Structure 1
Amino acid sequence: MGSKYTKRCTEEFKRDAVALIGSSGRTVTAVAREFGISSESLRGWYRRAKADRGEGGSGELTSAEREELKRLRKEVRKQQQTIEIRKKATAFFVKENYR
Protein backbone atom coordinates (compact mmCIF):
# COMPACT_ATOMS: atom_id res chain seq x y z
CA MET A 1 0.00 0.00 0.00
CA GLY A 2 1.29 3.41 -0.92
CA SER A 3 1.21 6.55 1.09
CA LYS A 4 -1.97 8.60 1.01
CA TYR A 5 0.16 11.29 -0.63
CA THR A 6 1.37 9.04 -3.44
CA LYS A 7 -0.02 10.10 -6.79
CA ARG A 8 -0.37 7.36 -9.40
CA CYS A 9 0.33 8.60 -12.91
CA THR A 10 -0.71 6.92 -16.13
CA GLU A 11 1.86 5.98 -18.75
CA GLU A 12 0.34 8.59 -21.06
CA PHE A 13 0.81 11.30 -18.42
CA LYS A 14 4.45 10.24 -17.95
CA ARG A 15 5.09 10.25 -21.71
CA ASP A 16 3.56 13.72 -22.05
CA ALA A 17 5.65 15.13 -19.20
CA VAL A 18 8.86 13.61 -20.58
CA ALA A 19 8.05 14.82 -24.11
CA LEU A 20 7.56 18.35 -22.80
CA ILE A 21 11.09 18.36 -21.38
CA GLY A 22 12.55 17.42 -24.76
CA SER A 23 10.39 19.67 -26.91
CA SER A 24 10.18 22.81 -24.80
CA GLY A 25 13.77 23.04 -23.65
CA ARG A 26 12.56 23.69 -20.09
CA THR A 27 14.16 22.14 -17.07
CA VAL A 28 12.89 19.02 -15.36
CA THR A 29 12.10 21.06 -12.26
CA ALA A 30 10.01 23.60 -14.20
CA VAL A 31 8.00 20.89 -15.97
CA ALA A 32 7.52 18.95 -12.72
CA ARG A 33 6.23 22.08 -11.00
CA GLU A 34 3.80 22.71 -13.87
CA PHE A 35 2.47 19.14 -13.72
CA GLY A 36 2.34 19.11 -9.93
CA ILE A 37 4.68 16.15 -9.51
CA SER A 38 8.00 15.51 -7.83
CA SER A 39 11.00 16.57 -9.88
CA GLU A 40 12.77 13.36 -8.80
CA SER A 41 9.93 11.25 -10.22
CA LEU A 42 10.03 13.14 -13.50
CA ARG A 43 13.81 12.90 -13.62
CA GLY A 44 13.53 9.10 -13.23
CA TRP A 45 10.91 8.87 -15.99
CA TYR A 46 13.11 11.01 -18.23
CA ARG A 47 16.18 8.81 -17.59
CA ARG A 48 14.15 5.67 -18.25
CA ALA A 49 12.76 7.11 -21.51
CA LYS A 50 16.28 8.02 -22.66
CA ALA A 51 17.50 4.50 -21.87
CA ASP A 52 14.59 3.00 -23.80
CA ARG A 53 15.58 5.11 -26.81
CA GLY A 54 19.18 3.93 -26.47
CA GLU A 55 20.43 7.32 -25.31
CA GLY A 56 21.11 6.33 -21.71
CA GLY A 57 24.86 6.02 -22.05
CA SER A 58 25.29 5.35 -18.34
CA GLY A 59 24.64 1.63 -18.63
CA GLU A 60 21.02 2.03 -17.58
CA LEU A 61 18.73 -0.84 -18.54
CA THR A 62 15.86 -0.41 -20.97
CA SER A 63 12.33 -1.26 -19.86
CA ALA A 64 12.48 -4.53 -21.80
CA GLU A 65 15.78 -5.44 -20.14
CA ARG A 66 14.39 -4.61 -16.68
CA GLU A 67 11.35 -6.83 -17.34
CA GLU A 68 13.56 -9.67 -18.55
CA LEU A 69 15.82 -9.31 -15.51
CA LYS A 70 12.79 -9.43 -13.20
CA ARG A 71 11.49 -12.54 -14.98
CA LEU A 72 14.90 -14.26 -14.83
CA ARG A 73 15.36 -13.49 -11.13
CA LYS A 74 11.94 -14.96 -10.42
CA GLU A 75 12.85 -18.08 -12.42
CA VAL A 76 16.15 -18.45 -10.53
CA ARG A 77 14.32 -18.17 -7.17
CA LYS A 78 11.89 -20.87 -8.25
CA GLN A 79 14.72 -23.16 -9.37
CA GLN A 80 16.61 -22.61 -6.10
CA GLN A 81 13.48 -23.59 -4.16
CA THR A 82 13.12 -26.73 -6.29
CA ILE A 83 16.77 -27.65 -5.64
CA GLU A 84 16.29 -27.17 -1.88
CA ILE A 85 13.19 -29.38 -1.87
CA ARG A 86 15.00 -32.10 -3.82
CA LYS A 87 17.99 -31.98 -1.46
CA LYS A 88 15.69 -32.44 1.53
CA ALA A 89 13.80 -35.25 -0.19
CA THR A 90 17.05 -37.00 -1.09
CA ALA A 91 18.31 -36.72 2.49
CA PHE A 92 15.00 -38.08 3.78
CA PHE A 93 15.02 -41.12 1.48
CA VAL A 94 18.68 -41.87 2.14
CA LYS A 95 17.94 -41.80 5.86
CA GLU A 96 14.92 -44.09 5.37
CA ASN A 97 16.99 -46.65 3.39
CA TYR A 98 19.48 -47.07 6.25
CA ARG A 99 16.85 -47.94 8.85
Structure 2
Amino acid sequence: MAKRYTDEFRRDAVRIAISSGLTRPQVSSDLGVGLSTLNKWVQKHQHEDLMSGPHDDVEKENTRLRKELRLVREEREVLKKAAIFFAGQSQ
Protein backbone atom coordinates (compact mmCIF):
# COMPACT_ATOMS: atom_id res chain seq x y z
CA MET A 1 0.00 0.00 0.00
CA ALA A 2 1.35 3.40 -0.96
CA LYS A 3 2.24 5.84 1.78
CA ARG A 4 -0.16 8.81 2.07
CA TYR A 5 1.10 12.32 2.81
CA THR A 6 -0.93 15.29 3.98
CA ASP A 7 -1.22 18.39 1.82
CA GLU A 8 0.62 20.33 4.53
CA PHE A 9 3.53 17.88 4.40
CA ARG A 10 3.66 18.16 0.60
CA ARG A 11 3.65 21.98 0.72
CA ASP A 12 6.40 21.98 3.34
CA ALA A 13 8.44 19.50 1.32
CA VAL A 14 8.12 21.67 -1.80
CA ARG A 15 9.07 24.78 0.17
CA ILE A 16 12.14 23.03 1.57
CA ALA A 17 13.11 21.64 -1.83
CA ILE A 18 12.88 25.08 -3.44
CA SER A 19 14.28 27.35 -0.77
CA SER A 20 16.61 25.37 1.50
CA GLY A 21 19.67 25.33 -0.73
CA LEU A 22 19.84 21.55 -0.40
CA THR A 23 19.79 19.27 -3.40
CA ARG A 24 16.55 17.47 -4.12
CA PRO A 25 18.12 14.06 -3.42
CA GLN A 26 19.21 15.38 0.00
CA VAL A 27 15.73 16.75 0.74
CA SER A 28 14.00 13.58 -0.42
CA SER A 29 16.32 11.46 1.72
CA ASP A 30 15.89 13.71 4.77
CA LEU A 31 12.10 13.60 4.46
CA GLY A 32 11.89 9.91 3.59
CA VAL A 33 10.19 10.63 0.28
CA GLY A 34 11.16 9.21 -3.08
CA LEU A 35 13.03 11.61 -5.35
CA SER A 36 10.54 11.16 -8.18
CA THR A 37 7.68 11.84 -5.77
CA LEU A 38 9.31 15.03 -4.54
CA ASN A 39 9.98 16.16 -8.12
CA LYS A 40 6.30 15.59 -9.01
CA TRP A 41 5.20 17.65 -6.01
CA VAL A 42 7.55 20.47 -6.96
CA GLN A 43 6.31 20.48 -10.56
CA LYS A 44 2.69 20.49 -9.42
CA HIS A 45 3.11 23.20 -6.79
CA GLN A 46 5.83 25.40 -8.29
CA HIS A 47 3.35 28.08 -9.31
CA GLU A 48 1.54 28.24 -5.99
CA ASP A 49 2.37 30.91 -3.46
CA LEU A 50 4.12 28.80 -0.85
CA MET A 51 3.89 31.57 1.72
CA SER A 52 0.15 31.92 1.38
CA GLY A 53 -1.78 31.30 4.51
CA PRO A 54 -1.74 32.75 7.98
CA HIS A 55 0.62 35.71 7.65
CA ASP A 56 -0.45 36.93 11.09
CA ASP A 57 1.12 33.84 12.61
CA VAL A 58 4.38 34.56 10.82
CA GLU A 59 4.38 38.16 12.04
CA LYS A 60 3.65 37.09 15.61
CA GLU A 61 6.45 34.54 15.48
CA ASN A 62 8.86 37.12 14.06
CA THR A 63 7.97 39.54 16.85
CA ARG A 64 8.47 36.83 19.47
CA LEU A 65 11.81 35.83 17.98
CA ARG A 66 13.02 39.45 17.87
CA LYS A 67 12.22 39.85 21.57
CA GLU A 68 13.94 36.58 22.38
CA LEU A 69 16.99 37.58 20.34
CA ARG A 70 17.20 40.94 22.12
CA LEU A 71 17.03 39.18 25.50
CA VAL A 72 19.72 36.66 24.53
CA ARG A 73 22.00 39.45 23.33
CA GLU A 74 21.52 41.32 26.60
CA GLU A 75 22.27 38.16 28.57
CA ARG A 76 25.39 37.57 26.50
CA GLU A 77 26.65 41.08 27.25
CA VAL A 78 26.09 40.56 30.98
CA LEU A 79 27.96 37.25 30.85
CA LYS A 80 30.85 38.83 28.93
CA LYS A 81 31.17 41.54 31.59
CA ALA A 82 30.97 38.96 34.38
CA ALA A 83 33.66 36.84 32.74
CA ILE A 84 35.96 39.87 32.47
CA PHE A 85 35.24 40.82 36.07
CA PHE A 86 35.95 37.34 37.45
CA ALA A 87 39.02 36.92 35.25
CA GLY A 88 40.41 40.13 36.79
CA GLN A 89 39.73 38.95 40.34
CA SER A 90 41.59 35.68 39.92
CA GLN A 91 44.86 37.40 39.06
The higher radius of gyration belongs to 1
TM-score, normalised to structure 1, is 0.45
Greater relative contact order (Cα < 8 A, sep 6+): 2
TM-score, normalised to structure 2, is 0.49
